[in-house]
Chains A and B, each alone.
Chain A
């Protein structure tokens, strides 16, 4: 299969997933006890204006599929509806919080790559005590949920030692990074441990491969053998893990932002859920899904670039 066909096929599959996800997100509204109108109005006083607004916004008088496609068309035009709580366009609510979440994810990704790959490679090449220390550290990290770690980080480094601010996003780039350090660590640690474990295992298994013996038997410098034959080959499974991990971070921000009271998409989502602000919920959930699916697509493409043996016909599943 040629590259363009491969890409077209993958993008089509992605669109199908997004269509299904949007249908789920939209359709679930109709599963709400009492029907969509009473759900959307919720505990707010049901004034005729509010009912009219909700009915119009969600096209509640049209048949289901018509409503769904009208909504979808609106979304595709960038109209994500209006928040009933903030009385503001959802798109502008999201836009103002997007940067915090993005920064947090990027920061955590950098930490994961540095710490995860670093300790993984170190443990695999050194073995012995180093290997055991890293293994133990990874096991502990994997057992600690992000919100638990976040709470402990606050207790120790913000409240106890006073090195970092307890809550909030900060202002200005440097200050923002400073405020995001503990959240990024909380978000990154268990993923870094997972990456460390996978990369270490992958390197160790590659070190024992016959082709590495060949390379050693030819008197190539050990550093060259490690870089060219061990790390290169070991990176193939690692890339998948990195991709899945980053995709998973997007969901993880929901929890971490709430621990540190960061004003990002995740805390907006939780508040919207609690306040039954469904337009906001729909928009953010769709956004999370899009990012998740996109990252997975990128990983698939990278994967076929790194492993030349992989035919593009291969089913990714």
Chain B
């Protein structure tokens, strides 16, 4: 019975992890930007959600949508600032790594200065009252709400990529940015939009992440970034569908480890990351090994 519990919990968390990581993969896929501030964007989404809940009594589920427009705007502005240096760089991946490491540090410091260093949480009762019973087991209701919210959000990103013209252009750039320019796609414009969308979906998951990770605090960014990297590397870097597979594998593996090897479970992201990099560097769904 415990095994079933771990698998169901793993799937619920897996859907959340897919939502948590998809923005990182989108941003990486298009411009090879390694966004080390990914977890900090989630953290800011979390604080926004906390603030909106306590000041304006806005449900965190609504905040999932509310944080999107300002983050898209912020994404455009950031993209304009970094686009020049990145397109001139000989090794844009490395430059983006350093740039966003700096952004990560700045965001963490700013939030600490203005909001203090304490962990904050939003009560589960803001989303749901009581547990959910499923197959004879009882689960926290928020897990189901968050997983349920993750499905349409991830689904929207996938629909956008596979069913809209802009999404098709985005995937063309992911496949080969130079050839995309050679067929007349405005690579800069589409990349800026994708960067904005990627950041927005990341802030968006932040609004409900506190229910799954126990709260929000200014220093949580690094761990969330590592977690998201593990998920997208497992699934396949640059493959958006792979993020869902990666999230589910990660979620179930983590819950099973918590059941059978609890003291080792926090190693799971690193172990899975290393295992994938050693044995299937292109990720579970990947066909080609990345050149870099």
Same complex origin of A and B: no
Q: Which residues of B contact A (CB under 8 A)?
A: none
